[in-house]
Chain A
Amino acid sequence: MQRPRFEAYSAFNLIAVALILIAATSTAIPFAAPAGAAAKGKLVLAWHAGFASRWLDPQEHDGTATPDNFFTAIHDALIKNQGTELYDHPALAEHFSVAPDAKSATFTLRRGTRFHNGDPVTPQDVKFSYENYRGAKADVFKKKTERVDIVDDRTIRFVFKEPFLDFAILFGTANVAGPAWVVPEKYYKQVGPDAFKQKPIGAGPYKLVRHEPGVRVELEAFDGYYRPVNAKQLVMIAVPEAATRVAMLERGEADIVYNVPGELITKVGKLPGVTLAPVLSGSFFIEFAGFQDPKNPFHDKRVREAVSLAVDRRAMNQAETAGMGKPTGNWINNDVQYAIEWPEFPRNVDRAKQLLREAGYPNGFDVDWVTPLPTFYSRGERLIAQLREVGIRGRLQTMERGIYFQRLQAGLKEFPGTQIILHGVRIAGSWSFWYEGHFKCGGFNSRDRICVKDLDGKFDQYERSTNPAERKKLAEEIQRGILENYYLVPVFRHAFVNAIGPRVVLQKWQDVFPTITTGYAYPWEDIKVKDQ
């Protein structure tokens, strides 16, 4: 018996509709499906140092950029720095707001976010992570926070004792502090801080598969992440020797290598399919320790200016980073809040000599020591050679890195006489962190080596102010004051040169190193590798 015609027709229509629906759904799946499901390929990163286990636990963030490599893979924060967003990229928080009086900040959690063990990310986890945080700047948060309120199952509010204008920037800049990074309270308490560092569980795009302390970390794309994760496996290997890292890249054993030193940059740049990623990093600048003493030659502004005129910034950049750094006019990186742009200082040896004559040093003078940031000793040697051209004669003082910071923090007594320090610093977030650390009288690194009372007075005013416009004005005034008086002499921005192998999909190196406040390659979930 023949089927009624309309039925066959309807069946055909139904199948057609079903096929269209399937096709439509399948195109939508990559956006709607769990993030790790579509991930493919393996990304291998060769590191320039051994791994410290504390870098796997945001609760003990040491305030440097290095741990971000692990945090951004395994963990996630409410807000964070990402791409060109300095601190306010919404991550686990769908959105947030700071009260107009800056006395509270409210975050709403993204729906459906989970930790790698399947537990949901809750406001209680956020509260625990904040209250239990004991890393860099922990005391600042503790001192200023009155309480943390869980408003509902997605909303959490931080209430402050006084206006806390820098809260969001401190909270969200990963390489400054870590209380925004959320750890699972239950698991953290269950295993304890030390075991957590060996087997961390987070809410980030990658879950830990294997951890050989100090040697290797193997990660796998997390299916439950709220953003697409491109590479299925992420392997980080510590390879301290630069030549070995380059050999790994050349042989295809690594896809990204960090820190290609100056002598290998040209070679690596010529490797087929390899892309150099010269990320602008820390700022190098000159400090005149104890210049406020009238007996110190650098007390005279003309002498400080002469030093600036003697420095050949372009030659330094060319020799030290194959020209991949950038001679700069401001000692504060331009990727932080309220940093001002300033033209590059000129080089003029004749003018420098003239200024020294005017200042009473026709035959120049001797500097007891020129101390560069370890291990950039060759930069100190170049500076000495350039200063000698105008008659300033210095000797190089090299120190082990730990000793250097220890002596900085001990203050002027560790730098007696006439001294020049060639610093290299990178601090994300706000210009004020730079000032507070490296210029303010009594600051944690400047101590008593620099004391300019009028600028410190303005800085105190800046700290007290709750008016953003006034703060910006003061920030700019202070920075101009430093530069116009040559209290610090900017030299150049260092290039942290990395290399990317041919398996990584990219149009330009910034596709792999997009986050401007860091020299590293995150966000990891965005990096794609070709089929292997």
Chain B
Amino acid sequence: MSQFIIRRVLYSVVTLLILSATIFLIVRLTGDPVALMAEASARPEDLERIRHQWGLDRSWPVQYVTFMQNAFTGELGKSFNYRLPVSELYFQRLPNSLTLGLAATLISLLIGIPAGIISAVKVNSGWDTVAKGVALLGLSIPGFWLGLVLILVFSVWLRWLPTSGSGDWRHVVMPALALGWYFAASMLRLTRSSMLEVLGSEYIKLARLKGLPDFVVIAMHAFKNALIPVFTLAGVNMVVMVNAAVIIEVIFAWPGIGRLLYEGIFQRDFPLVQGVVVMAGFMIVVINLLVDILYAIIDPRIRLTR
């Protein structure tokens, strides 16, 4: 088991190294950030001064080594735009993103799981058709459009909710709904297919033959097993929602990490983009590592076959 864990940790470190090198290169391929840090009429002397100030006049390998040395000590560099350490900015925004991510996850689970179960249990019925329609709409309606419609209806017409920003629970409702809606659709589809698979299995048939009521079969036997892949997906979805809810955070002026990333990309704020992507990657890698270890604990065949 310990060998398995060591191997998985090493894989994770390699993954993070590849990710950091990739994002380091990609942001630099977008061009020179100094062009956006100075005025349009800046002279070469001004540009050179700024380039030197931020160490951008050094070679890329030197810049990468510096970035990695700092990253290993928990420093992700200083944002060009905000003049603050990226880690400080990230953790300033993290509570907002966690709030939004949790609320959106909850919404996606509350919509996706019941609808997926009903759809699977009443397969090929009117309920199923409605659920499939909901899933289709969820996956095809763009988040920005849904967000704007929500603002128009609930803020401008009904005046129930504030348009944007963060504050009390009322600020969370619309962005969480707009964000959770898309993920609810994927939850619904996965729950439905997972439930259908479980409902067709031998032990469920046996349970039915034993005369157990439908509710007990579904709630006590099928539901639990069908939810394993659903919750695995929910975990990854949440990491994505916390770190990359770019469009929704921009529409609702939500001060989260997604918006930080958006501004970083827009301003070619290299340290900020690198930092946010590496942090998101770190979260995903850690979650996957934990899931792998848990699977290995639950099912010894996994650690023996890998």
Binding site for B on A (CB under 8 A): 50, 52-54, 62-64, 134, 136-139, 193-194, 197-198, 212-216, 237-241, 243-244, 247-248, 250-251, 253, 400-403, 405-406, 409, 425, 427, 433, 437-438, 444-445
A405→B33 CA distance, assembly (Å): 11
Query: Which of B40, B46, B250 lies in contact with A445, CB distance below 8 A?
Result: B40
Q: Decide if B35 touches A248 in the complex (CB within 8 Å).
A: no
B161: nearest chain-A partner, CB-CB? A251
Report B-chain residues with C-beta under 8 Å of the C-beta of A251.
155-156, 159, 162-163
Q: Given that A212-B255, A241-B251 are known contacts, is A136 also in contact with B148, CB under 8 Å in the complex?
A: no
- Could you show 27 A-B contacts with beta carbons less than 8 Å apart? A50-B266, A52-B81, A63-B42, A63-B46, A138-B46, A194-B78, A198-B84, A214-B81, A214-B82, A214-B255, A214-B259, A214-B260, A215-B253, A215-B255, A237-B253, A241-B148, A243-B151, A244-B151, A244-B164, A251-B155, A402-B30, A403-B31, A405-B36, A409-B44, A409-B47, A437-B41, A444-B43
B202 within 8 A of A: no
Query: Which of A53, A212, A403 lies in contact with B81, CB distance below 8 A?
Result: A53
B36: nearest chain-A partner, CB-CB? A402
Extra pairs beyond A244-B148, A253-B162, A444-B42 (7, CB < 8 Å): A53-B84, A139-B45, A213-B89, A253-B163, A403-B31, A409-B35, A425-B41
B26 within 8 A of A: no
Q: Decide if B42 touches A136 in the complex (CB within 8 Å).
A: yes
Report B-chain residues with C-beta under 8 Å of the C-beta of A63.
38-39, 41-42, 46
User: Which are the 10 A-B pairs with shortest beta-carbon distances?
Assistant: A63-B39, A437-B41, A50-B263, A215-B255, A239-B253, A402-B35, A247-B163, A444-B43, A213-B82, A405-B35
B260: nearest chain-A partner, CB-CB? A214
A438→B260 CA distance, assembly (Å): 34
Q: Decide if A244 touches B251 in the complex (CB within 8 Å).
A: yes
Q: Decide if B40 touches A425 in the complex (CB within 8 Å).
A: yes
A236→B253 CA distance, assembly (Å): 13
Q: Decide if A402 touches B41 in the complex (CB within 8 Å).
A: no
B288 within 8 A of A: no
Report A-chain residues with C-beta under 8 Å of the C-beta of B31.
400, 402-403, 406
Report A-chain residues with C-beta under 8 Å of the C-beta of B183.
none
Q: Decide if B38 touches A136 in the complex (CB within 8 Å).
A: yes
B306 within 8 A of A: no
Nearest Cβ in chain B — how far from A47, in angstroms?
A: 10
B210 within 8 A of A: no
Q: Categorize the interface residue count of chain B.
A: 35 or more
Instruction: Produce 1/0 per residue, B261-276, CB < 8 A to A.
Output: 0110011100000000
Nearest Cβ in chain A — how far from B48, in angstroms?
A: 10
A418→B22 CA distance, assembly (Å): 37
Report A-chain residues with C-beta under 8 Å of the C-beta of B13.
none
B83 within 8 A of A: yes
Q: Decide if A62 touches B37 in the complex (CB within 8 Å).
A: yes
Nearest Cβ in chain B — how far from A163, in angstroms?
A: 21
Report A-chain residues with C-beta under 8 Å of the C-beta of B57.
none
Report A-chain residues with C-beta under 8 Å of the C-beta of B83.
53-54, 193-194, 197-198
Most B Cβ at <10 Å: residue of A197, A403, A405:
A405
Q: Decide if A401 touches B36 in the complex (CB within 8 Å).
A: yes
Q: Decide if A248 touches B164 in the complex (CB within 8 Å).
A: yes
Q: Decide if B81 touches A136 in the complex (CB within 8 Å).
A: no
A238→B40 CA distance, assembly (Å): 22
Q: Decide if A64 touches B255 in the complex (CB within 8 Å).
A: no
B44: nearest chain-A partner, CB-CB? A444
Q: Decide if A445 touches B41 in the complex (CB within 8 Å).
A: yes
B32 within 8 A of A: yes
Report B-chain residues with C-beta under 8 Å of the C-beta of A401.
36
